[in-house]
Structures are given as structure tokens and as C-alpha cells.
């Protein structure tokens, strides 16, 4: 059972003070309180599934727990899983090993907590050297920006949705710079 306490003095509040439309005084320190509590606070937590013990000889057992009854196969590797090992993720049932390897290899993009923003990197490479002092570096950065834009066009960009506008701008500026270098070299060769 959870208890709700006063944020000022720590006095345990009774249920008569919960979900009231107006502010009430704390019985101990007279601090003004308004306590909003969801009904789930008072419900018992559902017990976790621990898997059923294997009863008969011919039943399939869990790959990770040989004495537990298998309930389904892993959708990635096909190993039999008990209720304890079955992890439902994106409408797939995965074993802990496949979930971990999918996170490490980047196959499960919903588990990412950070991503490299290749579109911003490509645009930075295309625009930063255009200053007066650094423009000769565009000989290197323009092809790099073009390569990154093309190479990472289909790579998931951000955890939040983003458009391909930065890639398009990076490609456009990179092509203009490469064209400028091409015209410059062509004029040097012709003269």
C-alpha cells in the first residue's frame, strides 16, 4: 500500500484529502495542499509471469529455462521461450538475446536513445567552409557532404521525425561548390 505525504512536513495524508476541487490545509503544518491521485495507486500490482513448470516429457521447453514450458518461439531466431523470457516489442515476440543484439546492431531503432544527425552534419560540411578564410577547404568538404548525404539518405535521422530538407540543401550546396571547383580547374587548364 502506498502512502501520500505532505510535501512540506512529511505527514501521512488520509484519503479524504485526495482529489478535492479546492486546496486544503495539512493537518500537521497547515501548508496548503491539493492532492490528485489516480485510482491505480490503490490497486494491487499484477503478478509477473514466471512461466509454467514443464509437466510432461514431450512438451517443448524454454531455451533459457529447460524446466519451464515453452509458450511461443522467438520471432527473430526461433528459440522456444517461456512466459518469463518472452519480450513483446513492436508486435514481435523476441528472446532477451535477440533484443540485446538488435539494440547493439541498431536493428531495433525504437530502442535508440541517441542518433547521429547525418543531415545536419552534411549541411554543416557544405556551409561552414564558405567563409572568406576557409573556402579552400570546400575542395574536401563538398565531396564529403555529398557522400554523407547520399550514403545516409535512408538512415533514420532523429528520434523525432525530420524531413530530408537538410540533405537536399547539403547536396545542392555541395554540387554548386564542386561545380565551382570544376569551372575553376577548367579555366586554369584552358589558359
Average pLDDT over residues 163-171: 94
In angstroms and rounded to an integer, the radius of gyration of the C-alpha atoms of the chain is 30
Residue 172 to residue 85: CA distance in whole angstroms: 50
pTM assigned to the model: 0.48
Instruction: Write down the H helix ranges in 56-164.
Output: 96-105, 118-127, 138-151
Residue 163 to residue 138: CA distance in whole angstroms: 25
pLDDT digits (tens, 9 = 90+) for 2-45: 778 888 898 998 888 888 888 888 999 999 988 888 877 777 76
pLDDT digits (tens, 9 = 90+) for 47-62: 656 566 766 677 788 8
pLDDT digits (tens, 9 = 90+) for 120-152: 999 999 999 887 688 889 999 999 999 999 999
As given in the structure block, the three cell numbers for residue 15 are 484519503
Amino acid at each position: 500500500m502506498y502512502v501520500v505525504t505532505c510535501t512540506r512536513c512529511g505527514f501521512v495524508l488520509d484519503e479524504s484529502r485526495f482529489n478535492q476541487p479546492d486546496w486544503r490545509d495539512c493537518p500537521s503544518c497547515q501548508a496548503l495542499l491539493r492532492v490528485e491521485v489516480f485510482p491505480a495507486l490503490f490497486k494491487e500490482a499484477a503478478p509477473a509471469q514466471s512461466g509454467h513448470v514443464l509437466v510432461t516429457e514431450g512438451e517443448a521447453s524454454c531455451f533459457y529455462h529447460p524446466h519451464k514450458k515453452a509458450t511461443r518461439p522467438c520471432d527473430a531466431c526461433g528459440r522456444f521461450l517461456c512466459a518469463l523470457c518472452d519480450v513483446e516489442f513492436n508486435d514481435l515476440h523476441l528472446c532477451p538475446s535477440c533484443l540485446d543484439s538488435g539494440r547493439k546492431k541498431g536493428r531495433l531503432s525504437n530502442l535508440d536513445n541517441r542518433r547521429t544527425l547525418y543531415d545536419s552534419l552534411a549541411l554543416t560540411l557544405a556551409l561552414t567552409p564558405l567563409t572568406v578564410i576557409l573556402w579552400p577547404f570546400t575542395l574536401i568538404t563538398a565531396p564529403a557532404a555529398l557522400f554523407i548525404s547520399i550514403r545516409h539518405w535512408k538512415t533514420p535521422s532523429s528520434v523525432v521525425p525530420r524531413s530530408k530538407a537538410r540533405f537536399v540543401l547539403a547536396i545542392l550546396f555541395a554540387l554548386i561548390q564542386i561545380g565551382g571547383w570544376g569551372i575553376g580547374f577548367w579555366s586554369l587548364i584552358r589558359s
